[in-house]
Structure 1
């Protein structure tokens, strides 16, 4: 295949050149992944307010819609946040798919005398676990945000909606499985992001892996405790 002339490459915008490069796509995945971790920690902390009762939880949900007022109109902060997260998710998924396709294209031939090395458990988890999470995010929005598939959605009573939802065993199962996938994704993804951004080194490698594992356990456990508490009657 003929090489692309240097003059053509140089006329491309720098942002496009960055996106087209492998390291650029990995950097986008790393930055968006860390953005999701920050969001998940804040979201988890808010969810745990459900243990303080319906009044506190509903008040917290209402307060989220007032962030930014009077500079921003009512609930605009949430919509801006959602737009940023959707854009970040789109970039994250597209970069992941393109990198996976690029990896397969680079190794198109199976060796006759030597089997192709098997992908690690972490690599498999990042691929099919990521696909599972993408489907779950759509479900979660339709369930507890839009109320389309919710068991008993009441817009101004989030405590009631969450409790009604998690009293159904199969809804709990969907959430718990997705959260386990999330934990595995964070555990490996945090280390991968640190490596991509140049933060990983021989001296910090173990600390970064431990930090990723702790983050994964805290976020997964923090989210899982809510459906488990509702299912066991601790919250309700």
Structure 2
């Protein structure tokens, strides 16, 4: 007769479940691991990028004052900080800061999205109220903007894909880009995505950083709408100016 044996205790763990419960040693690490930390990083980096867009749009509008003023402005950008720093150092510092902000923004957005999915793995039984168009397209809008940034650098920074591609002659390069149908399509689609991203993102950043309240909700939404509209129209005015012959 077989002897009864005591069952061995189970040591297997459910597949896919995280078992690493180690707490980060630094305050920054603990902040990053938290949801509010990721939202804060996303909000701060987003506002930094928004500030850059405002300045960038204002610079782009110089194209309406002719090639001399536009090209002189581009030359001035390369000499900011001289003689304290060498030529173009300021531009490279800004490029690195922008890259860090973009990466931090994208990583925080991705991880928050994964946390949201993990928190509710089962779909809702009842259909929730449909989100706004801007909210539903935030993710794809971010992808479109990221791809556009790569193309924009190859077009107007390195001149790799620009039909003109002359270093130090941004006015002529801008006209060359927007004299092509594909340059206009890429730019217009990207700027519409940027506008939607700003409209939703500015309001969300204000809420995350504690600026939101019931009394200020309407003002924040109006500010987000205004910023998105002004920046979108400002950026789109350049290709429209070339297409209509105002800029040539």
Could you tell me whether the CA contact under 8 Å between 1:110 and 1:116 is conserved in 2? no
What SS does the aligned partner of 1:65 have?
A: helix
1:137 aligns with 2:140: no
2:43 is matched with: 30
2:29 is matched with: 16
Q: In 1, Cα distance between the equivalents of 2:64 and 2:38?
A: 40
**Residue 82 (structure 1) shift:** 0.3
- Aligned mate of 2:110, from 97, 110, 135: 97
Cα 1:127–1:172 change in 2 (3 A) is: same
1:183 is matched with: 195
Deviation digits for residues 170-199 of structure 1, max 9, x if unmatched? 110110010001001000111000000000
1:117 aligns with 2:128: yes
**Residue 219 (structure 1) shift:** 0.6
Q: In 2, Cα distance between the equivalents of 1:178 and 1:31?
A: 22
Q: In 2, Cα distance between the equivalents of 1:211 and 1:71?
A: 38
Q: In 2, Cα distance between the equivalents of 1:208 and 1:201?
A: 9
* Aligned residue-pair number: 231
Structure 1 segments of 4 or more deviating over 6 A?
1-5
2:91 is matched with: 78
Structure 2, unpaired ranges of 5+: 1-16
Structure 1, unpaired ranges of 5+: none
1:174 is matched with: 186
Give the RMSD, CA atoms, in angstroms: 1.6
**Residue 164 (structure 1) shift:** 0.7
Higher-Rg member (1/2): 2
2:6 is matched with: none
1:231 aligns with 2:243: yes
